């Protein structure tokens, strides 16, 4: 297939939700000692990196708005995630509570759009992998591709509504790589 996209721009990036997707969900975690990668997370991120794609994390962190954690604690937890899972090219978090109407809080597209802009790639060249419907909806709203990796907290209607569902993180990454490779660049 012939395209006018530059090789460096296609495919471009895989973004991940943090809690429940690449690390075990510990609600409002401000303690780096409690960070535990989900099974296969390091290998999945390494697979994305070895394919030459950028990586990013987009995560709602309403614990900041609720006064349960502060920005320093969040930074320490994120640093531990990187120590355990390797370098992440871009981090975006929303510190707002669900009722704040923030345009970056998933399911709104703000963090996905900002991460894509920061990486210098169009949102249509981005895949977001997450564990709940808000992740998939944020990707859709941004013009990116969403892949759902259900966990015990994922609701049945979120699974039914997701266009792409993977059994685990490794399968999601392979689906992301195949999805990006099969799309025609704009």
Which residues are identified as catalytic? 17, 19
Q: Which residues pair with 15 in a beta bridge?
A: 56, 128
The secondary structure element, H or E, covering residue 88 is: none
Question: Distance from CA of residue 83 to its chain's centroid?
Answer: 17
137 and 158 Cβ atoms separated by less than 8 Å: no
* Nearest-angstrom CA–CA distance, 119 and 116: 5
Helix 110-119, helix 133-142: angle, nearest 10: 60
| The length of the chain, given as a count of residues | 186
* Nearest-angstrom CA–CA distance, 120 and 159: 31
């Amino acid at each position: 297939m012939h395209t006018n996209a530059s090789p460096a721009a296609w495919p471009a990036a895989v973004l991940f939700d943090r809690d429940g997707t690449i690390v075990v969900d510990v609600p409002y975690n401000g303690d780096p000692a409690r960070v535990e990668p989900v099974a296969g997370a390091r290998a999945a991120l390494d697979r994305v990196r070895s394919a030459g794609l950028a990586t990013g994390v987009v995560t709602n962190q309403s614990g900041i708005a609720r006064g349960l954690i502060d920005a320093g604690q969040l930074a320490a937890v994120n640093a531990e995630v990187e120590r355990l899972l390797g370098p992440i090219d871009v981090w975006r978090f929303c510190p707002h509570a669900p009722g704040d109407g923030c345009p970056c809080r998933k399911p709104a597209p703000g963090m996905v759009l900002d991460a894509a802009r920061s990486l210098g790639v169009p949102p249509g060249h981005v895949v977001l992998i997450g564990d709940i419907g808000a992740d998939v909806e944020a990707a859709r709203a941004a013009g990116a591709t969403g892949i759902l990796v259900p966990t015990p907290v994922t609701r049945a209607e979120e699974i039914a509504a997701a266009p792409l569902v993977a059994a685990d993180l490794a399968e999601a990454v392979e689906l992301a790589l195949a999805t990006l490779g099969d799309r025609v660049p704009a």
